[in-house]
A and B are shown apart, each in its own frame.
Chain A
Amino acid sequence: MSQADGVLRRRPLWSLGLLRSEIGMTFRRWRTLALLAVLAGVPVLVGIAVKIETGDGGSAGGGGGEGGPAFLSQITNNGLFLVFTSLAMTLPFFLPMSIGVIAGDSIAGEATAGTLRYLLVAPAGRTRLLLVKYATTMTFCLVGTLVVALSALLTGAVLFPLGDVTLLSGTSVSFGEGLLRALAIACVVALSLIGVAAVGLFISTLTTSGIAAMATTVGLLITVQILDTIPQLDAIQPYLFPHYWLSFADLLRDPVYWDQLQKNLGLQALYAVVFGSAAWARFTTRDITA
């Protein structure tokens, strides 16, 4: 009883222990691994498709969709472009969808399993648990993006030649600098997902059904993506979280165009603040009945 009688001291680094437990648990789930496998598979499929098409002697056509940068035709010259192409292809849907699954499930999934009540009486603390969940989701954003980039880099290196990189503005930089820019792009892509992660976390605090939270987040993502393409709605489009996503291509210019990049990051920060606060307000006052 000696410990119980005395003042129980909180350990200053305890939050890190909880974060480590959370991250470890997230990445041990089959669902997380399956999501990462899907993300890793996209660049391989794209790479093989390009290889087959150009194997016939024709040239790979088109660009990466409307508004997207035309990286596809460059892949046959330089495998590094598979990284840019893959990120441009996964950013509109695959990446945010997987973030939606992780973020949507974060609180609601624990509620569904009933483990939320045991974490809270442990007591993990509601604010701290929310922060840990958000940090874990952000970790997944980074890992997911890096998985896409690395898979693309490996596939590109195997299927295509590597070499100096011709930037969108026409100038040429060394392969080394190209790699650095690829890394920077991966980081920007990961940061672009902050907004959707915050929205997912908020939705997750609203319900006790993990599936419902995931489906709502992903549904919302699709809706917003559609709204972003309707020209009549251009008044609200600058406030939609995916609006500046493809601005990462501006990192491939010389000099770099910062304008859209900054708008993107500012918008993501705004979403993080607004929906993070909403999630906090909701979660710290909610009755845990599950």
Chain B
Amino acid sequence: MPQPAAAGPAREHRPAGDRVIETRGLTKAYRGGQLAVDGLDLAVPRGSVFGFLGPNGSGKTTTIRMLMGLIEPTAGSARVLGQPMPGAGRRVLPKVGALIEGPALYGFLSGRDNLWRFDAADPTADPRTRAERVGRAVERVGLAAAAGKKARAYSLGMKQRLGLAAALLQPRELLVLDEPTNGLDPQGMREIRALVRELAADGTTVFLSSHLLDEIEQVCTHAAVMARGRLITQGTVADLSATVLGSRGLGRLTVTTPDTADAVRVLKEQGVTDLEVTEDRVTGELPSEPSPQGHQNPATSPDSPLSSDSPLSPDSLELADLNAALVHAGVRVRAFGTERASLEDVFVHLTGEGFDVAG
């Protein structure tokens, strides 16, 4: 029962079918009136790897639970795969694989039996192919050797993998992964990232929530930032970092030197402001000339990739001059460069607060 033309009178030039997740004014108030999620307008394009970013307690998980039909929104609407949730859960959810707030398993069952159990709960799963699909899912997350062990003996990382395997039991159009690398060692994190990229390459849209900025930075094409239940911004990762690059020029200059006092003096003469010294590092803001990438319009620099070391054109000359000035003044320079703008910078810039501050 599709809602009567809820797609609306073409408010965007893109058809609604392009959006795998679309929410309008999605709001959840818990008892006592506190808003866990406040008027969320989220749009996840098909085929993207969408990073959903925010500190713990910012409303990410509540949003995901509303998208999955586990909790009822107080106000607003959510559409997943073009259909309203939670109403169309029966049709939508078989095409969605989810890992919500960590894995949850039956400790007294083996890993494989856990997957059998979850697969039996899926009305579209064919019991005749179950053994094969379970085997493939276990294989895919690298858990084949431990699949026969009781789940209560699993480490957190193994549980996480098994939770992922459950999300991969069927071909999915959308994967919702809430903190998927939680509890994994660095090797496991790399494997999960590789898996996410592989799935995305197959055309699956991946909605990845995390409070780990570099995780989002490494795998996501798009991102949204939440804080205190509100959506701060969303867009491509490149655009988000451009917002910061635009407002900050090239980011902070960092000089590593044993002669910090001299360096500060020379840099100040050169017009570098906001100088700070930490051990053998001097950092400061580059003189902000009216740069071509004004932060009023971040779209003018859409190509600046987030993780480049920003050797950008007009200023690079000046950077070289700065370095020359330091060396002329007898400052011994160990390292010289600008800090890249990271999603962390984006976050701090957008929220004006440290990332670890819970809403």
Contact = CB atoms under 8 A, between A and B. Distances in A.
Contact of A29 (B90, B93, B108): B108
Interface stretch (B165-173, B244-252, B316-324): B165-173
A102 to B, nearest CB: 15
Contact of A113 (B96, B104, B172, B173): B104
A129 to B, nearest CB: 8
A129 B166 CA distance: 19
A121 interface: yes
A212 B152 CA distance: 22
B71 A289 contact: yes
Contacts of A123: 69, 89-90, 93-94, 121-123
Given A21-B120, A124-B121, A125-B123, A28 B108 contact: yes
A4 B118 contact: no
Interface stretch (A11-19, A35-43, A161-169, A175-183): A11-19
B105 interface: yes
B72 interface: yes
A62 interface: no
Interface residues of A, number: 33
Contacts of A9: 124
A118 interface: yes
A115 interface: yes
B111 to A, nearest CB: 14
B332 interface: no
B104 A114 contact: yes
Contact of A18 (B121, B126, B173, B202): B121
A3 interface: yes
Most buried by B among A8, A21, A124, A285: A8
Given A11-B124, A121-B100, A30 B71 contact: no
A1 B203 contact: yes
23 contacts: A1-B173, A1-B202, A3-B170, A4-B171, A4-B172, A8-B124, A9-B124, A10-B90, A17-B127, A18-B120, A25-B106, A115-B104, A115-B106, A117-B68, A117-B70, A117-B100, A118-B121, A121-B93, A122-B122, A123-B89, A124-B121, A287-B65, A289-B70
Interface of A: 1, 3-4, 8-11, 14, 17-18, 20-21, 25, 28-30, 113-115, 117-125, 129, 285, 287-289
